[in-house]
Amino acid sequence: MDTKNKLLTSAERLFDQQGFNATSMDQLTEAAQMSSRTLYKHAGGKTGLVKQVLSARDKRFLQMIDVQSIDDLFEALKTWTRTEGARGCLFLRAYGETGSNTPEITDIVLSHKAAFHAQVARLVTGTIGPDHPNLGTLTAQILVLIEGSTAAAIYQGEDAITAAHQAASTLIAQASA
Amino acid sequence: MDTKNKLLTSAERLFDQQGFNATSMDQLTEAAQMSSRTLYKHAGGKTGLVKQVLSARDKRFLQMIDVQSIDDLFEALKTWTRTEGARGCLFLRAYGETGSNTPEITDIVLSHKAAFHAQVARLVTGTIGPDHPNLGTLTAQILVLIEGSTAAAIYQGEDAITAAHQAASTLIAQASA
DNA sequence: ATAAATGTAAAACGAACGTTTTACTTTTGT
DNA sequence: ACAAAAGTAAAACGTTCGTTTTACATTTAT
C-alpha cells in the first residue's frame, strides 16, 4: 500500500478506537510507520489528517450503503459492524470532540449526513414508490432507526441493528398497506 | 448555589459544548468561578470530575424520563432538547473520547444505559401489557428510536424526535392490533 | 547519470496540559 | 471568640502536545 493510504487507514483505526483528541501524533506516526516529517508532508497537520480521514470514510461508507434495498442496507450495516466493531458514528464523534469549533469538519459531517439521507431516501423511494404520501416521513423514520442502531450497537452489538431492521420492516409494511 | 453544584453544573455545560478532552482545567475553574485548588479538593482531578458530572447527569436524565407514557417520554425529550440543545448522548460521547481506556467511566455509561433500557421497558409494558409476546422486541425497537433521535437531532433538531415519536406510535399500534 | 522528489531518524521548539504547592484570607460551627 | 474548614490568587512542576528543523538516505523519472 502506498504511503498516503497507509497513513489514512491506520489513522482512521486509531481515531475510531481512541478518539481524535486522545490520539497523539506520535501514535499516528508509529502506526503509519513513517516519520513525522512525512506525515506532515501528506496531511499538513492533525486537523488536515482528521479531514482527510473523514473524507475517505465518507467515500467508503457511501460505497457500503450503495445497495438495492432497505434489507440489503441493514445487512451491510451488520457486516460493517462485524468487521470493524461498533463505536458510534465517527462523523458525529468528530463533531462532538471539536464542539463545532472547526467549521471545515462541521462541513464534512453535514455533507456526509446529507448524502446519507439522500441514499436512504433513494432506497425508500424504490420500496414504496416515488409518489407515496409518506415518503418523507418514512425516510426520516428509517434514518433515525439507522442512526439509533449505530449508537445502540456500541453497547448492544448487532442486536441493535436487528431491532432497527425489524422496526423498519414493520413501518414499511404499514405504509404499503 | 453551593460550590460543588456550581462546579458540576458549569463543567457539564462545558463538557457537553466542547467535548471532554477539549475542555481544559483552566476553562473549568474559570467557568466554575473557583480556584484550581478548590476544584481539585472537590473533584480529585479531571477524571473524577468527568465521573461526577456523568453521575449527576445520569440522575437528572432518569428523573426527566420518569414519566407515565411513551408519548410523555418523547415530549420530555423534546423539552430537554429545546432547553439544552442537541449534541448527542453525553455518555456515549464520553465513552468514545476515552476509547474504553477508563473502566470506571465505561461502568457509569453501561449502568446508565441499563437503567435507561429498564425505564423504556417499564413504559412499553404499561402500554401493551406485561404478557405481550412482543414486549422485548418492541422495547428494543423504541430504545433504538430514542437513541437515533438523540443522534439525528444533532443535525436535524427536534424533527428527529418527531420522526422517532411517530415511528414508535406506529410500532405500538401495530403490536396492539 | 543525475537531479528532483520522497523518504528516515532524531532533536528541538514553544505552548498547553493536568496537577501541586505556597502564602494568605474568609467563612463557619461550637 | 476562635480554631477548623473552606476559600482565593498565583506561581511553579514535570509531561505531553502539535509542529518544525537539521542532517542524511533512498527512490524515481528523464
Which residues in chain A are contacts of B113 at CB distance < 8 A? 155
Phi-psi region of B129 (alpha: psi -120 to 50; beta: other; left: phi over 0): left
CB contact under 8 A, B163 and A141: yes
Q: Which residues of chain A carry a pLDDT beneath 50? A: none
Please check whether strand D approaches the CB of B38 to within 7 Å.
yes
To the nearest whole Å, the CA of B7 is away from the closest chain A CA by: 20
A87, A88, A93, A94 alpha-carbon torsion, rounded to 10°: 80
> Which residues, 6+ apart, have CB-to-CB distance to A46 below 8 Å?
A25
Q: Does B150 touch chain A (CB under 8 A)?
A: yes
With CA atoms as reference, the chain B residue closest to A21 would be B21
The Å distance, CA of B22 to C1' of C1, is: 53
Cell of B176: 396492539
Q: How far apart are CA A31 and CA A38, in angstroms?
A: 13
Delimit the domains of chain B by residue range.
1-53, 65-176
To the nearest whole Å, the CA of B37 is away from the closest chain A CA by: 25
Which residues in chain A are contacts of B163 at CB distance < 8 A? 137, 140-141, 143-144
Q: How far apart are CA A151 and CA A156, in angstroms?
A: 9
State ipTM.
Answer: 0.96
Q: How many CB pairs under 8 A join A and B?
A: 141
Residue whose CA lies closest to nucleotide C19 C1': B45
3-state secondary structure of A102: coil
Q: How far apart are CA B103 and CA B107, in angstroms?
A: 6
- pLDDT single digits (tens) B14-61: 999 999 999 999 999 999 999 999 999 999 999 999 999 999 999 999
Q: How far apart are CA B135 and CA A133, in angstroms?
A: 30
Please check whether strand C approaches the CB of B46 to within 7 Å.
yes
Within 60-119 of B, beta carbons closer than 8 Å to A belong to 87-89, 92-93, 95-99, 101, 109-110, 113
Please check whether strand C approaches the CB of A33 to within 7 Å.
yes
Q: Residue B99 pLDDT > 80, yes or no?
A: no
> Which residues, 6+ apart, have CB-to-CB distance to A42 below 8 Å?
A3, A4, A7
Please check whether strand C approaches the CB of B18 to within 7 Å.
no
Environment class of residue B88 by beta-carbon count within 10 Å: exposed (0-12), middle (13-18) or buried (19+)?
A: buried
Please check whether strand D approaches the CB of B24 to within 7 Å.
no
State what percent of residues in chain B have pLDDT above 70: 99
Written as one string, the DSSP assignment of chain B is --HHHHHHHHHHHHHHHH-STTS-HHHHHHHHTS-HHHHHHHHSSHHHHHHHHHHHHHHHHHHHT--SSHHHHHHHHHHHHHHH-----HHHHHHHHHTT--HHHHHHHHHHHHHHHHHHHHHHHHHH-TT-TTHHHHHHHHHHHHHHHHHHHHHHTHHHHHHHHHHHHHHHHHHH-
pLDDT (0 to 100) of residue B100: 81
- pLDDT single digits (tens) A104-114: 999 999 999 99
CA angle B23, B28, B31 (to 5 degrees): 120
| C-alpha distances in Å from residue B85, one per residue of A45, A147, B88, B162 | 31, 18, 9, 15
pLDDT (0 to 100) of residue A99: 77
Residue whose CA lies closest to nucleotide C6 C1': A38
Buried b (16+ CB within 10 A) or exposed e, A113-125: beebbebbbebbe
Closest CA to B113 of A164, A156, A144, A97: A156
Environment class of residue B157 by beta-carbon count within 10 Å: exposed (0-12), middle (13-18) or buried (19+)?
A: middle
CB contact under 8 A, B99 and A151: no
The Å distance, CA of B35 to C1' of D10, is: 10
Give yes or no for a contact between A145 and B163, defined as CB atoms under 8 angstroms apart.
no
Please check whether strand D approaches the CB of B25 to within 7 Å.
no
CATH class of domain segment(s) A1-53: mainly alpha
Q: How far apart are CA A86 and CA A149, in angstroms?
A: 10
Q: How far apart are CA B28 and CA A21, in angstroms?
A: 18
- The sign of the dihedral angle between the CA atoms of A116, A122, A127, A129 is positive
Q: How far apart are CA A2 and CA B48, in angstroms?
A: 43
To the nearest whole Å, the CA of A149 is away from the closest chain B CA by: 6
Which residues in chain B are contacts of A19 at CB distance < 8 A? 21, 96-99
pLDDT (0 to 100) of residue B177: 79
